[in-house]
């Protein structure tokens, strides 16, 4: 048993001609897009660089005093790049077509990279969200509106594969998994016909209003979907592909971190079913999504993240210590809803808070008041 970093130490010497591309490779390359490779990997049409050289340049760049380790669960992503560079399996991978777009006005966060592995097949990796509250809000926004990154993902895939031929793979973690599924379904037919696999790693699904579109159903057989036992983001919205449920050495909402997913040999370790908290969240979210129209969803999502930000938390890891203040905000605002809607929101809040670990006793007491007594 181990994680993907330990796997690179243990099995990185096995080249693709010895052991063919598998699910752990899909996980590793999906997470590679979390590394900030600005000014290292060329953009679309501007050439390529091998992964080992990119890692060397990244190490030099990392010495800049302005570069700081981010306080997020993906802070290990640079270590992933450096470990990949030391393995025969990935060192010669060609990196190209790097883009990183952030537009706060339009709430656009989009980044992707193309990695051509030793078997000659490009892997298009879409970056997901980190554990900042801003990033998670974008995932929840998908329940009532299109996000700009969807259109960017389709345009990007069409662009980088315009002159391509032969098979391609797509993948991403969190929002990146959603983007891989969305782009794979709605890209140009010629590009879509060459897709061999789409790796959706705990990514949110799509709204009911586009779930029935034929493109999503036609590409569902290509999707390899993975979620941890206590999944939150990966249970959002509608999915065509059934998930493989994974073991994690974390608890609650922190299972979203792919570094916590356990490996057994050259496979991801699976679980027969969702855990209690994951099952409860799925039930509460489905009650909410079917019981509240898109306008009310917008109001609630803005409210929930306004309240969480008002607590002083910036990241998920900050929340356990800040929840007492956040719950005061919840209790103060809950009365404005109609009784039926209030009960739906109460159950959703309960499931969200249950996902958080090491709750202080005072927070547990207030949570009980909110969810069980209806105060």
CA separation for the pair 355, 317 (Å, rounded)? 12
User: Is 39:54 a contact under the CB 8 Å cutoff?
Assistant: no
Please answer whether residues 201 and 171 qualify as being in contact, where contact means their C-beta atoms are separated by less than 8 angstroms: yes
Domains: count for the chain: 2
Q: How many CA atoms lie within 13 A of 293 on its CB side?
A: 1
Judge if 329 and 229 occupy the same domain.
no
Please give the pLDDT value at position 142.
82
Q: Do residues 308 and 246 both lie within one domain?
A: no
How far apart CA 158 and CA 150 sit, in angstroms, is 13
Q: Which strand (E) or helix (H) includes residue 8?
A: helix 4-11
The rounded distance, in Å, linking the Cα atoms of 96 and 109 is 19
- 102 shares its domain with 23: yes
Question: Do 193 and 268 lie in a common domain?
Answer: yes
- Give the Cα separation of 243 and 246 in Å (integer): 9
The residue among 259, 274, 289 that closes a domain is 274
Task: Decide if 243 contacts 314 (C-beta within 8 A).
Answer: no
Question: Does residue 44 sit in the same domain as residue 118?
Answer: yes
The pairing of strands 122-126 and 168-173 is parallel
Hey, which residues does 122 pair with through a beta bridge? 116
Angstrom distance (rounded) from CA 76 to CA 137: 22
Tokens of 92: 């010669």
Euclidean distance between CA atoms 70 and 130, whole angstroms:
10
| Residues spanned by the domain of 361 | 279-372
Relative orientation angle of helices 361-372 and 319-333, to the nearest 10 degrees:
30
For the record, the structure tokens of 220 come out as 């569902």
Give dist(CA 173, CA 180) in Å, integer: 9
- Taking the CB of residue 299, how many other CB atoms lie within 10 A of it? 13
251/311 same-domain check: no
258 and 149 co-located in one domain: yes
How many residues are recorded in the chain?
A: 375
CB atoms within 10 A of CB 102: 10
Strands 223-228 and 195-201, sheet pairing? parallel
Which pLDDT score is estimated for 366?
A: 54
Cβ pair 234, 336 in contact under 8 A: no
Chain-centroid distance of CA 292 in Å reads: 25
pTM of the predicted model, to two decimals? 0.86
Side-chain-facing half-sphere of 208: CA atoms under 13 Å: 8
Question: What's the confidence (pLDDT) of residue 303?
Answer: 73
Instruction: Tell which residue, 342, 368, 338, has the closest CA to residue 353.
Output: 368
- Residues 268 and 309 occupy one common structural domain: no
Report the candidate in 284, 283, 254 with the shortest Cα–Cα distance to residue 357. 254
Question: What backbone torsions phi and psi does residue 128 show, to the nearest 5 degrees?
Answer: -95, -165
CA–CA distance from 111 to each of 30, 43, 128, 357, 360 (Å)? Answer: 12, 11, 8, 30, 37
pLDDT of residue 374: 45
pLDDT at residue number 331 = 63
Same domain for 234 and 221 = yes
355 and 298 Cβ atoms separated by less than 8 Å? no
8 Å CB contact between 145 and 171: no
* pLDDT per residue of the chain (375 residues) written in tens, 0 to 9: 689 999 999 989 999 999 999 999 999 999 999 999 999 999 999 999 999 999 999 999 876 545 445 556 788 999 999 999 999 999 999 999 999 998 766 667 899 999 999 999 999 999 998 777 777 777 778 877 778 899 999 999 999 999 999 999 999 999 999 999 999 999 999 999 999 999 999 999 998 889 999 999 999 999 999 999 999 889 888 999 999 999 999 887 789 999 999 999 889 999 999 888 778 777 777 777 777 777 777 777 777 777 777 777 777 667 666 666 666 666 666 666 677 777 777 777 666 666 654 444 444 555 555 555 444
- Single out the residue in 253, 274, 295 at which a domain terminates: 274
Find the helix or strand (DSSP H, E) in which 150 lies.
helix 148-160
Residues 53 and 185 in one domain: yes
| In a shared domain, residues 178 and 69 | yes
Last residue of a domain, one of 209, 243, 274: 274
- Specify the CATH number for the domain of residue 97: 3.40.50
Q: Looking at the structure, do residues 224 and 285 belong to the same domain, yes or no?
A: no
């Amino acid at each position: 048993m181990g994680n993907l970093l330990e796997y690179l130490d243990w099995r990185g010497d096995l080249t693709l001609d010895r052991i063919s591309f598998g699910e752990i490779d899909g996980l590793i390359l999906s997470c590679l897009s979390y590394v900030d490779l600005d000014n290292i990997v060329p953009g679309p049409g501007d050439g390529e660089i091998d992964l080992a050289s990119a890692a060397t340049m990244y190490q030099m760049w990392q010495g800049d005093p302005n570069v700081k380790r981010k306080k997020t669960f993906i802070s290990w992503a640079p270590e992933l790049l450096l470990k990949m560079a030391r393995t025969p399996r990935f060192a010669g991978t060609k990196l190209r077509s790097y883009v990183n777009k952030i537009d706060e006005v339009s709430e656009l966060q989009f980044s992707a990279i193309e990695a051509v592995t030793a078997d000659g097949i490009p892997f298009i990796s879409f970056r997901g969200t980190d554990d900042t509250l801003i990033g998670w809000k974008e995932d929840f926004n998908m329940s009532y509106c299109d996000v700009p990154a969807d259109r960017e993902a389709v345009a990007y895939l069409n662009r980088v594969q315009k002159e391509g031929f032969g098979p391609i793979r797509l993948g991403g973690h969190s929002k990146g998994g959603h983007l891989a599924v969305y782009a794979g379904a709605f890209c140009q037919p010629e590009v879509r016909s060459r897709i061999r696999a789409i790796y959706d790693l705990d990514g949110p699904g799509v709204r009911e209003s586009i779930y029935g579109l034929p493109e999503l159903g036609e590409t569902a057989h290509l999707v390899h979907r993975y979620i941890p036992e206590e999944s939150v983001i990966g249970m959002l919205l509608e999915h065509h592909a059934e998930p493989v449920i994974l073991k994690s050495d974390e608890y609650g909402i922190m299972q979203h971190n792919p570094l916590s997913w356990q490996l057994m040999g050259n496979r991801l370790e699976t679980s027969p079913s969702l855990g209690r908290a994951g099952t409860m969240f799925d039930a509460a979210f489905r009650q909410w999504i079917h019981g509240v129209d898109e306008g009310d969803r917008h109001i609630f999502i803005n409210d929930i993240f306004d309240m969480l930000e008002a607590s002083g938390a910036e990241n998920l890891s900050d929340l356990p210590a800040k929840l007492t203040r956040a719950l005061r905000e919840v209790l103060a605002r809950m009365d404005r809803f109609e009784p039926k809607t209030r009960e739906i929101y109460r159950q959703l809040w309960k499931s969200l808070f249950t996902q958080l670990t090491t709750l202080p006793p005072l927070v547990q007491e207030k949570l009980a008041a909110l969810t069980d007594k209806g105060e």
